[in-house]
């Protein structure tokens, strides 16, 4: 059936090529943008964005053709295309499209509208897609570094701003450090398994005793590296500074797509190689999750910079998603997938509102800059409310359904204490999300001007809002979409 | 019109929502258009709920006017609505008070009129959904949804400390409801493991399943649900959000808060906690009765000390809702009937009291008792209506409050022990009576200070009396108070069946003990006695007396 499908794609190239076609197309467009950028004058740089969007579109089409595949390995088992990879692939492409739409106006105002921006964004997306499809340590590491290197540059893209440079430097230094630790862990995994293939490593781990020091050291180092990438406590320190310094649309991308990609990596490793030693890490992950929810939700309360506030809130969200892994049931994994899907839209939407506030001469990142938004631009204030409600997890928004699955999986597995913690942390979360809402809805506007919404920004905002409401009121289709990830072989193996 | 025949409940539920969506498209500067449309939909919401009276059969068991549609098949949540006697009276109370609240805001709200009415109508739909849902998931969604409009109503249109009061209200209620969500999920999961993986949020299906949960699990679940409902009621010591929220909210917000929102807590107890977890309910009933009596006395005592009229009435709600919870946890048919009736009464009387305070607040922009005095001279009509409502609230015979409180006390008095606890209802009833006396004291004292004597403050000398719109808000409530006080049978007819069903389920010993004492009734011991309305206005006195 697979052969059949691939031959229908009508590729002249080796058949395996169709499996990485989404990445390849992104790559072609990324390089194409670098070339065409020379031909465009200052005013028509937005063509780069159009080109980037086209790349995302083609890549999406190629990915769509792969949607019915069930676990095809290729390139000597270094990648595997399964529903899990396809699901995450769509997440990255959606996020990339939203970020491109939000970037055009923002970069024009910042006066840093260069083609490299879009090229790097597409390259980062390629890295992410390889992270989701990789079933081999080398592929995974290369994917991770491709993504991370692109983001290092993008974080420092506002060359004239100190905060941007500072954020980039912090990101590079700490990121390189964590990648080193992760590489060290990978080398230990290779030593234990005698192979870089995850399935083979999993067999070797199953044969070892769980108390084996080598096994434990590899677990600790790999976890540290991955937790850094998803910004879980205690490896979260970089997040607020990087989020604050990076161009806001890139902040949205780092907080959403990069996080989703790192979660794909985390799930791949923890649900294959590390699954046999689950008792060793279950409580550790639970502890990291609770610590993330604590630091994230209480840290956000005192923030007055919107981007820092959202950085802390995203640390809190990581805590919720990790709890799905602690539960380790179908509902838990489905919950993580659904949560990430919703998170793409709600967090990007929240950053989109921050982007709207950026104008000539106004940074627009302070919570005070929102004052009186309801009278200046009612639509923006209403959308902000919807995003904040969804982030806090109040029905009928999609954020609630995400939290619902996490809670359900915890109840199913008898983790009542964790469930109570997770549920009660909604209260401080709501408090700081509504601090934002209070500024937009109940404060006097002062002298601030009306924010304008460009067409591209309008499209992105509409998409985010529509998804949050539809997936909140009629979530069935999206739950099933998130549920397709469970059909992946590596998850089937452990859930059986 | 066919829709009214097949989906009456949905029509009632969505009428306010349609109004809210319509208002969204009316430009904000046309304030009067907003007022007219909102009032139209508020009144229409009440009108479409009237056919319920004809369509709903009192005394029939179970839920009526059911509607069932698939909503989220993958988790088993359905859009399913239905009403029994309990939700029937609460739905009518909600639509009536909703229309009155909207009408009362005509001149009180001058800023951001458009948003105000949209939120008020959204709130209305949310509350109706809570009372109609037969699906636990749907119930939870409505339960949470109505928090948001209420938050804004307090936070935007409230008085000085509105932001503090609004977020306090939101956080308190949210903490309770997330714990309830966990309890719901545990019940859902319990059903799933009992029925080999089949899943549903249907209340009736879950009701059958929870009965067989072991007692310790039931007790945990009881606490899980308890916080959500107890905070909403609010029971002592979870009442501290209420004085702030009620005091700071605009008049219509206070009316809805006191009149309908608080009933969501008692409704939760009656619909979920008590029937779903009978063992745990019996285990903790004595504790709940103790807390209720504390609320009655404490609330009344705190009222004595208030300088702010709205704050005083807010604390009186703590006291009055204490009666409602006392009646629930007495677990006797009369106590439960009295409790439901008292919820209705509290909605009428306290709703009216908040409207009454709103009337003079709109004229003077202060609520301090010391600012007033001798108002009966410039405002005679106002004084009359205020007096009737005061008497109704303090439980004067021939007015509604008396019937409810009498039934609750009578039901409590009967209690000789619940489950394994030798709780003696006579003591609870005795303390609760003290609460009634205190209630008379603080309400009459308030009336005396505000209305009687000479006009001491020159600002009050020329206060205009009630206008037509204010009459239109208050007179229906006065008539309802009189009607329930003089001839409550038509209302009690609806309450008998749900009350008996709960007792039958939770405290069947009550019927068997009575049957044993009265040989005549041995013939049909399983059948709860029915037919208060056939004999007299008041429910039947027990044959033994």
Query: How far is the alpha carbon of B73 from chain A, nearest alpha carbon, in Å?
Result: 7
For residue A34, give the 3-state DSSP assignment.
helix
Composition of chain B by helix, strand, coil, percent to 5: 75, 5, 25
**Distance, CA of B78 to CA of B88 (rounded, Å):** 21
| pLDDT given for residue A177 in this prediction | 93
A336 has pLDDT over 50: yes
- Domain for residue B155, yes or no? no
**Distance, CA of B308 to CA of B366 (rounded, Å):** 9
- Domain for residue B473, yes or no? yes
pLDDT, averaged across chain A: 91
CA-to-CA separations, B176 to A35, B231, B287, B356, in angstroms, rounded = 58, 7, 19, 31
Confidence of residue A2 (pLDDT cuts 50, 70, 90): low
Q: What does the pLDDT look like over A155-193, one tens digit per residue?
A: 999 998 899 999 999 999 999 999 999 999 999 999 999
- Domain for residue B338, yes or no? yes
User: Taking residues A469-488, what's their average pLDDT?
Assistant: 93
| pLDDT given for residue A363 in this prediction | 79
Cα torsion B419, B421, B422, B428: sign: negative
* B400: Cα within 13 Å, side-chain hemisphere: 29
Residues of A in contact with B181 (CB under 8 A): 404, 407, 423
| pLDDT given for residue B535 in this prediction | 41
CA-to-CA separations, A126 to A25, A117, A339, A342, A363, in angstroms, rounded = 9, 14, 22, 21, 31
User: Taking residues A242-254, what's their average pLDDT?
Assistant: 94
| pLDDT given for residue A422 in this prediction | 93
The residue segments making up the domain with residue A60 are: 2-495
The answer to whether A420 contacts B148, with C-beta atoms less than 8 Å apart, is no
Query: How far is the alpha carbon of A271 from chain B, nearest alpha carbon, in Å?
Result: 24
* φ, ψ at B444 (rounded to 5°): -70, -35
| pLDDT given for residue A10 in this prediction | 55
Is the peptide bond between A396 and the residue preceding it cis, with omega within 30 degrees of 0?
yes
For residue B414, give the 3-state DSSP assignment.
coil
**Distance, CA of B312 to CA of A258 (rounded, Å):** 55
Cα torsion B315, B320, B321, B322: sign: positive
Which two three-digit tokens encode residue B335?
A: 């106590």
User: How many structural domains are present in chain A?
Assistant: 1
Is the peptide bond between B26 and the residue preceding it cis, with omega within 30 degrees of 0?
no
Residues of A in contact with B141 (CB under 8 A): 395-396, 400
Reported ipTM: the value is 0.92
A458 has pLDDT over 60: yes
User: How many structural domains are present in chain B?
Assistant: 1
Q: Which residues pair with A136 in a beta bridge?
A: A197
**Distance, CA of A267 to CA of A147 (rounded, Å):** 17
Give first-to-last CA distance, chain A, whole Å.
Answer: 24
Q: Which residues pair with B72 in a beta bridge?
A: B77
Q: What does the pLDDT look like over A236-246, one tens digit per residue?
A: 999 999 999 99
Query: How far is the alpha carbon of B46 from chain A, nearest alpha carbon, in Å?
Result: 25
CA-to-CA separations, A35 to A28, A39, A51, in angstroms, rounded = 11, 8, 11
For residue B148, give the 3-state DSSP assignment.
helix
- Domain for residue B123, yes or no? no
Which two three-digit tokens encode residue B25?
A: 């498209």
Which two three-digit tokens encode residue B182?
A: 């966990």
Range scoring the smallest mean pLDDT among A291-300, A404-413, B450-459 = B450-459
- Domain for residue B351, yes or no? yes
Give the nearest chain B residue to A388 (CA atoms).
B148
The residue segments making up the domain with residue B422 are: 299-507
Q: What is the DSSP letter of B365?
A: S
**Distance, CA of B52 to CA of B45 (rounded, Å):** 12
Query: How far is the alpha carbon of B464 from chain A, nearest alpha carbon, in Å?
Result: 33
* φ, ψ at B463 (rounded to 5°): -65, 130
| pLDDT given for residue B531 in this prediction | 43
CA angle B363, B368, B369 (to 5 degrees): 100
**Chain A window 358-417: which residues touch B at a Cβ cutoff of 8 Å?**
374, 389, 394-396, 400, 404, 407-408, 411-412, 416
Digit-by-digit pLDDT tens for chain B (545 residues) are 678 888 899 999 999 999 999 999 988 888 899 999 999 999 999 999 999 888 888 878 889 889 999 999 999 999 999 999 899 999 999 999 999 999 999 888 888 899 999 999 999 999 999 999 999 999 999 999 989 999 999 999 988 889 999 999 999 999 999 999 999 999 999 998 888 888 899 998 898 888 888 889 999 999 999 999 999 998 988 999 999 999 999 999 999 999 999 999 999 999 999 999 998 998 898 899 999 999 999 999 999 999 999 999 999 999 999 999 999 999 899 999 999 999 999 999 999 999 999 999 988 888 899 888 888 888 999 999 999 999 999 888 889 989 999 999 999 988 887 767 777 888 889 999 999 999 999 999 999 999 888 888 888 888 888 899 999 999 999 999 999 999 999 899 999 899 999 998 888 888 887 777 665 444 444 444 444 444 444 444 444 43
Q: Of B147, B152, B185, which is closest to A411 when you measure between CB atoms?
A: B185
Q: What does the pLDDT look like over A36-72, one tens digit per residue?
A: 988 888 888 889 999 999 999 999 999 999 888 888 8
Is the peptide bond between B432 and the residue preceding it cis, with omega within 30 degrees of 0?
no
- Domain for residue B128, yes or no? no
- What is the Rg, in whole angstroms, of the alpha carbon atoms belonging to chain B? 23
């Amino acid at each position: 059936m697979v052969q059949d499908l691939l031959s229908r794609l009508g590729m002249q190239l080796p058949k395996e090529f169709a499996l990485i076609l989404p990445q390849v197309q992104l790559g072609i467009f990324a390089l194409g943008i670098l070339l065409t950028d020379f031909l465009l004058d200052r005013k028509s740089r937005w063509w780069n964005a159009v080109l980037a969007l086209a790349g995302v579109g083609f890549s999406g089409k190629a990915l769509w053709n792969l949607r019915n595949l069930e676990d095809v390995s290729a390139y000597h088992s270094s990648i595997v295309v399964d529903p899990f990879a396809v699901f995450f692939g769509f997440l990255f492409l959606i996020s990339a499209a939203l970020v491109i739409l939000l970037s055009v106006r923002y970069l024009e105002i910042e006066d840093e509208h260069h083609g490299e921006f879009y090229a790097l964004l597409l390259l980062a997306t390629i890295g992410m897609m390889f992270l989701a499809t990789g079933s081999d340590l080398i592929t995974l590491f290369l994917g991770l570094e491709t993504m991370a290197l692109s983001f290092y540059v993008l974080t420092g893209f506002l060359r004239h701003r100190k905060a941007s440079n500072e954020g980039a430097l912090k990101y590079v230094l700490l990121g390189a450090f964590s990648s080193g630790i992760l590489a060290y862990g990978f080398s230990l995994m290779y030593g234990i398994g005698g192979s870089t293939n995850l399935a083979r490593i999993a067999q070797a781990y199953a044969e070892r005793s769980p108390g084996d020091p080598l096994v434990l050291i590899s677990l600790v180092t790999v976890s540290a590296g991955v937790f850094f990438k998803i910004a879980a406590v205690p490896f979260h320190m970089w997040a607020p500074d990087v989020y604050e310094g990076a161009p806001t649309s890139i902040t949205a991308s780092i907080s959403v797509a990069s996080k989703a990609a790192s979660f794909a990596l985390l799930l791949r490793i923890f649900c294959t190689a590390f699954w046999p030693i689950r008792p060793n890490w279950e409580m550790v992950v639970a502890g990291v999750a609770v610590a993330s929810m604590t630091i994230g939700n209480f840290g956000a309360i005192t923030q007055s910079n919107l981007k820092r506030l959202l950085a802390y809130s995203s640390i809190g969200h990581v805590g919720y998603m990790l709890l799905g892994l602690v539960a380790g049931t179908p509902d838990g994994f489905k919950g993580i997938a659904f949560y990430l899907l919703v998170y793409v839209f709600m967090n990007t939407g929240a950053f989109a509102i921050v982007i709207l506030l950026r104008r000539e001469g106004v940074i627009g990142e302070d919570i005070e800059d929102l004052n009186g938004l309801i009278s200046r631009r009612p639509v923006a204030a209403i959308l902000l409310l919807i995003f904040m409600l969804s982030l806090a997890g109040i029905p009928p928004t999609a954020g609630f359904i995400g939290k619902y699955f996490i809670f359900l999986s915890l109840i199913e597995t008898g983790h009542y204490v964790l469930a109570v913690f997770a549920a009660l942390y909604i209260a401080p979360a709501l408090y700081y999300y509504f601090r934002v809402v209070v500024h937009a809805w109940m404060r006097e506007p002062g002298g601030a001007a009306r924010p304008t919404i460009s067409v591209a920004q309008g499209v992105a905002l509409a998409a985010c809002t529509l998804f949050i409401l539809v997936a909140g009121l009629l979530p069935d289709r999206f739950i099933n979409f998130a549920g397709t990830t469970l059909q992946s072989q590596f998850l089937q193996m452990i859930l059986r | 019109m066919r829709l009214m025949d097949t989906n009456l409940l949905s029509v009632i539920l969505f009428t306010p929502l349609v109004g809210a969506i319509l208002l969204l498209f009316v430009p904000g500067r046309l304030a009067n258009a907003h007022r007219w449309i909102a009032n139209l939909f508020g009144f229409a919401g009440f009108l479409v709920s009237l056919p319920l009276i004809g369509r709903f059969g009192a005394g029939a068991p179970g839920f009526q006017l059911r509607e069932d549609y698939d909503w989220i098949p993958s988790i088993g949540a359905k859009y399913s609505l239905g009403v029994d006697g309990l939700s029937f009276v609460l739905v009518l109370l909600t639509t009536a008070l909703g229309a009155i609240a909207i009408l009362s805001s005509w001149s009180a709200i001058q800023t951001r009129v458009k948003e105000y009415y949209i939120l008020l109508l959204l709130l209305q739909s949310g509350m109706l959904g809570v009372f109609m849902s037969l699906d636990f998931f749907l119930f939870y969604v409505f339960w949470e949804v109505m928090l948001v409009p209420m938050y804004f109503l307090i936070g935007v249109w409230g008085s000085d400390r509105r932001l503090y009061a609004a977020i306090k209200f939101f956080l308190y209620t949210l903490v309770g409801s997330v714990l309830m969500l966990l309890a719901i999920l545990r019940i859902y999961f319990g059903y799933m493991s009992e029925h080999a993986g089949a899943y549903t949020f249907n209340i009736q299906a879950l009701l059958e399943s929870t009965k067989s949960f072991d007692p310790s699990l039931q007790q945990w679940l009881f606490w899980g649900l308890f916080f959500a409902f107890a905070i909403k009621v609010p029971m002592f010591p979870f009442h501290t959000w209420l004085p702030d929220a009620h005091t700071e909210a605009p008049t219509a917000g206070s009316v809805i808060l006191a009149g309908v929102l608080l009933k969501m807590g008692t409704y939760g107890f009656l619909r979920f906690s008590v029937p779903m977890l009978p063992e745990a309910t019996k285990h903790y009933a004595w504790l709940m009765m103790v807390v209720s009596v504390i609320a009655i006395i404490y609330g009344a005592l705190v009222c004595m000390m208030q300088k702010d009229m709205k704050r005083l009435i807010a604390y009186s709600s703590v006291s009055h809702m204490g009666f409602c919870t006392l009646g629930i946890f007495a677990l006797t048919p009369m106590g439960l009937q009295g409790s439901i009736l008292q919820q209705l009464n509290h909605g009428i009387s306290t709703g009216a009291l908040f409207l009454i305070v709103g009337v003079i607040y709109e004229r003077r922009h202060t609520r301090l008792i010391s600012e007033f005095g001798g108002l009966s001279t410039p405002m005679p009509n106002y004084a009359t209506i205020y007096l009737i409502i005061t008497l109704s609230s303090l439980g004067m015979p021939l007015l509604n409050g008396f019937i409810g409180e009498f039934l609750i006390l009578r039901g409590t008095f009967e209690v000789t022990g619940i489950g394994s606890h030798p709780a003696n209802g006579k003591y609870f009833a005795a303390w609760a009576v003290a609460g009634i006396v205190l209630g008379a004291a603080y309400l009459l004292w308030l009336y005396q200070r505000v209305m009687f004597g000479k006009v001491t403050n020159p600002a009050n000398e020329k206060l205009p009396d009630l206008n037509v719109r204010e009459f239109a808000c208050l007179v229906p409530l006065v008539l309802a108070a009189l009607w329930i006080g003089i001839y409550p049978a038509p209302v009690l007819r609806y309450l008998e069946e749900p009350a008996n069903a709960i007792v039958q389920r939770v405290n069947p010993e009550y019927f068997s003990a009575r049957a044993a004492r009265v040989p005549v009734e041995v013939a049909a011991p399983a059948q709860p006695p029915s037919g208060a309305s056939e004999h007299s206005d008041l429910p039947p006195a027990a044959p033994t007396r």
